[in-house]
């Protein structure tokens, strides 16, 4: 933030915080234990406008700045990081791809109801053999008449089992005429299209109540109006959108770290050993100080990346730094919290072990920490 937070930002963040505390925090542990994705919770976020945060008002969104959106994601994640996945993926990936590259007709048909929270979006890029090397994907679209037929399997699709619309990256180049990163299209796939198959719902270490699925396209036929922008540029649109997606993961990581710090701070003041509250021991107090310092640094970097994103121009490097630093902070802070809780920290009865499991995902999804370092290093070296 360059100046004092605006009233609008304060109000949005306050709304997110009170919704998260009243409606998300109480059921988070039970949803995690049951691996239960609750679409009703996400629909409620939509009713509050939280699924159209970055969409201009002309398209029924709230038209907010990126920093305000991220602080709202942090609030949701501090209560339930799995719910924050649905919110962040929907806002930053499918909705932003439609904002940037959708035709007027596509915006009218899909973006507006997505911004109003009536349709939930997903983003399908990864495949079994194309994770970090995303341009190596194999799902194939072939032309039929003026439309397309899609075949292939997408992996680790957040919201994939419950979304209404998936923006899917699928090859449009032909065997023998491969065009690498420029031979991939982006298709708007309504999930009630015949041939859309939810192949597997993943059983994950953390973020257990988020919906992560493998989806299969089985001779899935689409009209020409389902192709977003140019037929060979879908991968570029995806990487562009992932810059925003990665900031959402940074916000999620800040929320997880904040929750871990808050639990640890409270526990350290209450837990007594050797006749003292453990917070009175320097080893514990210094640990808390380091946790708080890293969290502040992560949030500041995230907000600076948001500011540069909104200022326009190339922000991939600082976005990758924010995602890398915030996710490693969430992992470190949540691990410290588990340690500070001692034996209780390792038990499911206390919330910090869930936070540690959830934190791990932020170092992996929407580009691993290694991929973020690739992006940062490329940026750095290109400017020398
Ligand atoms: N914004 C806009 N365009 C971008 C971009 C961005 N942030 N990043 C790359 N591009 C463009 C490039 O300029 C390039 O176009 P030209 O060929 O015209 O120059 C094109 O997209 C391909 O980019 P690049 O050559 O860098 O692609 P690579 O195959 O080398 O991939 C990495 C680079 C590894 C960084 C990329 O594949 C990646 O981010 N992988 C991880 C994928 C991921 O995050 N998956 C998670 C999915 S959600 S669970």
- Fold for domain 236-382? Butyryl-CoA Dehydrogenase, subunit A; domain 3 (1.20.140)
For 19-69, the pLDDT digits (tens) are 999 999 999 999 999 999 999 999 999 999 999 999 999 999 999 999 999
For 169-205, the pLDDT digits (tens) are 999 999 999 999 999 999 999 999 999 999 999 999 9
End-to-end CA distance of the chain: 29
DSSP string across 291-310: HHHHHHHHHHHHHHHHHHHH
Q: Is the pLDDT of residue 383 over 90?
A: no
Domain spanning 7-115: CATH superfamily: Acyl-CoA dehydrogenase/oxidase, N-terminal domain (1.10.540.10)
Percentage with pLDDT > 70 across the chain = 98
Mean pLDDT of 289-309: 98
Domains of the chain, residue spans: 7-115, 121-232, 236-382
DSSP string across 199-244: EEE---SS-TTS-EEEEEEEEEEE-GGGEES-TTBHHHHHHHHHHH
CATH 2.40.110.10 fits 121-232, yes or no: yes
In the structure encoding, which two tokens stand for residue 42, read together? 């996400």
Q: Which atom of ligand 1 is nearest to the CA of 374?
A: 35
The preferred substitution site among 132, 166, 181, 244 for testing ligand 1, maximizing ligand atoms within 8 Å of CB, is 181
> Is residue 105 classed exposed, middle or buried when 0-12, 13-18 and 19+ CB atoms within 10 A define those classes?
exposed
Q: Which of 259, 159, 208 is nearest to 29 (CA)?
A: 208
- For ligand 1, atom 48, name the residue with the nearest CA: 366
Q: Which atom of ligand 1 is nearest to the CA of 136?
A: 29
8 A C-beta contact, residue 123 and residue 158:
yes
Strands 121-124 and 165-171: parallel
d(CA 1, CA 376): 22
8 A C-beta contact, residue 51 and residue 117:
yes
In the structure encoding, which two tokens stand for residue 337, read together? 């919290």
Ligand 1 pocket member 181 (CB < 6 A):
yes
In the structure encoding, which two tokens stand for residue 22, read together? 């009243």
Mean pLDDT of 154-168: 98
- For ligand 1, atom 38, name the residue with the nearest CA: 132
Ligand 1 pocket member 211 (CB < 6 A):
no
Q: What angle do CA 269, 271, 275 make, to 5 degrees?
A: 100
For 263-273, the pLDDT digits (tens) are 999 999 999 99
Q: Is the pLDDT of residue 307 over 60?
A: yes
């Amino acid at each position: 933030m360059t100046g004092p937070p605006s009233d609008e930002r304060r109000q949005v963040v306050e709304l997110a915080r009170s919704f998260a505390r009243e409606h998300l925090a109480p059921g988070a542990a039970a949803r995690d234990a049951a691996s239960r994705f609750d679409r009703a919770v996400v629909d409620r976020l939509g009713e509050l406008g939280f699924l159209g945060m970055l969409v201009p008002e002309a398209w029924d969104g709230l038209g907010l700045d990126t920093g305000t959106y991220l602080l709202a994601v942090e609030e949701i994640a501090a209560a339930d990081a799995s719910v924050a996945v649905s919110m962040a993926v929907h806002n930053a990936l499918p909705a932003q791809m439609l904002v940037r590259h959708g035709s007027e007709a596509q915006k009218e048909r899909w973006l507006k109801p997505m911004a109003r929270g009536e349709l939930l979006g997903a983003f399908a890029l990864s495949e079994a053999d194309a994770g970090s090397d995303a341009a190596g994907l194999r799902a194939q679209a072939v032309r039929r008449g003026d439309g397309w037929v899609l075949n292939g399997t997408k992996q680790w699709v957040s919201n994939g089992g419950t979304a209404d619309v998936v923006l899917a990256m699928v090859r449009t180049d032909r065997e023998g005429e491969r065009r690498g990163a420029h031979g991939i299209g982006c298709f708007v796939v309504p999930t009630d299209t015949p041939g859309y198959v939810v192949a597997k719902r993943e059983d994950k270490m953390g973020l257990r109540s988020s919906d992560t699925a493998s989806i299969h396209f089985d001779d899935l036929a689409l009209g020409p109006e389902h192709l977003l922008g140019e037929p060979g540029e879908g991968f570029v649109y995806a990487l562009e959108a992932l810059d925003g997606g990665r900031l959402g993961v940074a916000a999620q990581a800040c929320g997880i770290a904040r929750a871990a710090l808050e639990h640890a701070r409270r526990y350290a003041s209450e837990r007594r050993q050797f006749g003292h509250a453990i917070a009175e021991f320097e080893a514990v107090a210094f640990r808390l100080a380091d946790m708080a310092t890293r969290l502040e640094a992560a949030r500041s970097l995230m907000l600076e990346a948001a500011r540069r994103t909104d200022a326009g121009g190339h922000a991939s490097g600082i976005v990758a730094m924010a995602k890398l630093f915030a996710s490693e902070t969430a992992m470190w802070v949540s691990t410290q919290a588990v340690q500070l809780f001692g034996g209780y920290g390792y038990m499911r009865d206390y919330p910090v072990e869930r936070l540690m499991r959830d934190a791990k995902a932020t170092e992996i999804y929407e580009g691993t920490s290694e991929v973020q370092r690739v992006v940062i290093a490329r940026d750095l070296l290109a400017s020398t």
